[in-house]
């Protein structure tokens, strides 16, 4: 009885460890994908800034061409001013020059704006480049660590599976069936340690007589509340597993 129960406790411990390792391993690809996504997002933000800077530069070149054009027109208007015959023509030419100068001032203001925003974008691009480098570094380092851990988990799972296979033939098959049934119905936990008369899993107090019977360790017993197979952690043979509580 004692030995069989010990085997079941051992089996539950092994399966518990496998479950934790498998969950841990399953997280790795998700975490790596999240890191990749962050790197891509950082790259996309950098590309955005670069594109805004490029279109700003193009706009500035266009404005500069316009200013050159306007300056050419102004020169012509000034020459015309020297050749005018009447006051009316003279006023009209002056007005033309004024209008052109007004347009030039407007373009020049826009050029200054573009220069300032280009400076700002240059600074942002430098920052975003650093963010991309950081994200890539994180992906590389943390990704490698996650893969390493996943491999380690794999190796541990394999060795635990082997231990499990060695254990199974030692357990009577009807008991193994009962264990599996309980495990599947009870959130992966078929056995519950009892300490000071309380079920270690559902935390229900056992009736006093049940606890006395359990301490005798003569038969397989179940928690009256959660129906898990129970064992008393005060018993020498089961002490080790009580540390798991
Ligand atoms: Zn219970």
Q: Is the pLDDT score of 141 beyond 60?
A: yes
Give residues whose Cβ lies within 5 Å of ion ligand 1: 199, 202, 223, 225-226
Separation of CA 225 and ligand 1 centre (Å): 5
Specify the range with the lowest mean pLDDT, choosing from 59-63, 114-118, 233-237: 233-237
| Ligand 1 centroid from CA 204, angstroms | 6
Average pLDDT value for residue range 206-221? 94
List, as one string, the DSSP characters of 125-180: HHHHHHHHHHHHHHHHHHHHHHHHHHHHHHHHHHHHHHHHHHHGGGS-HHHHHHHH
Separation of CA 195 from chain center: 40
What is the distance in A from the centroid of ligand 1 to the CA of 173? 23
What pLDDT score does 206 carry? 96
Ligand 1: centre distance to CA 199 (Å): 5
Provide the 8-state DSSP code for 205: B
What is the reported pTM? 0.71
What is the model's pLDDT at position 110? Answer: 97
User: What is the rounded average pLDDT for all residues in the chain?
Assistant: 94
Query: Where does the chain have alpha helices with state H?
Result: 2-83, 87-167, 173-185, 208-216, 239-242
Q: How far is the CA of 227 from the centre of ligand 1 (A)?
A: 6
Using the mean position of ligand 1's atoms as its centre, give its distance from the Cα of residue 202 in Å: 4
Q: At what angle do helices 173-185 and 2-83 cross, to 10 degrees?
A: 40
- For 169-201, write each residue's pLDDT tens digit: 999 999 999 999 999 999 999 999 999 999 999
pLDDT at res. 229: 96
**What percent of the chain lies above the pLDDT cut of 70?**
97
**Model confidence at 240, in pLDDT bands (50, 70, 90)?**
low
Residue 241 — pLDDT band, cuts 50, 70, 90?
A: low
In this structure, are residues 138 and 40 in contact, taking their beta carbons and an 8 Å threshold?
no
pLDDT at 146 over 80: yes
Taking the centre of ligand 1 as the mean of its atom positions, its distance from the CA of residue 171, in whole angstroms, is 23
Calculate how far, in angstroms, residue 224's C-alpha sits from the geometric centre of ligand 1.
7
CA of 170 to the centre of ligand 1 (A): 26
Most trustworthy range by pLDDT among 77-86, 149-158, 227-236: 149-158
Cα(156)–Cα(16) distance, integer angstroms? 13
Cβ–Cβ under 8 Å, residues 32 and 199: no
Check whether 243 has a pLDDT greater than 90.
no
Ligand 1 centre from 244 Cα, in Å?
16
Report all structural domains of the chain as residue ranges with CATH numbers, in order of start. 2-169 (1.10.287.1490), 172-242 (no CATH)
């Amino acid at each position: 009885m004692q030995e069989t129960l010990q085997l079941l406790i051992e089996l539950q411990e092994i399966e518990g460890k496998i479950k934790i390792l498998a969950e841990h391993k399953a997280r790795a690809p998700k975490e790596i994908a999240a890191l990749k996504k962050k790197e891509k997002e950082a790259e996309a933000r950098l590309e955005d800034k670069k594109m805004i800077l490029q279109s700003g530069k193009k706009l500035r070149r266009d404005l500069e061409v316009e200013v050159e054009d306007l300056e050419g027109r102004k020169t012509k208007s000034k020459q015309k001013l020297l050749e005018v015959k009447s006051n009316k023509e003279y006023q009209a030419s002056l007005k033309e020059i004024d209008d052109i100068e007004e347009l030039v001032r407007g373009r020049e203001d826009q050029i200054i704006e573009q220069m300032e925003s280009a400076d700002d974008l240059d600074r942002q691009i430098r920052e975003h480049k650093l963010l991309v480098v950081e994200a890539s570094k994180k992906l590389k380092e943390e990704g490698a660590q996650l893969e390493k851990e996943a491999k380690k988990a794999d190796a541990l799972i394999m060795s635990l599976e082997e231990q499990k296979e060695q254990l199974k033939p030692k357990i009577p098959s009807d008991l193994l069936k009962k264990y599996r049934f309980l495990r599947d119905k009870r959130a992966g936990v078929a056995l519950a340690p009892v300490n000071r008369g309380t079920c270690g899993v559902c935390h229900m107090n056992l009736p006093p007589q049940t606890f006395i019977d359990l301490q005798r360790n003569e038969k397989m017993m179940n928690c009256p509340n959660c129906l898990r197979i129970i064992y008393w952690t005060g018993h020498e043979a089961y002490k080790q597993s009580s540390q798991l509580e």
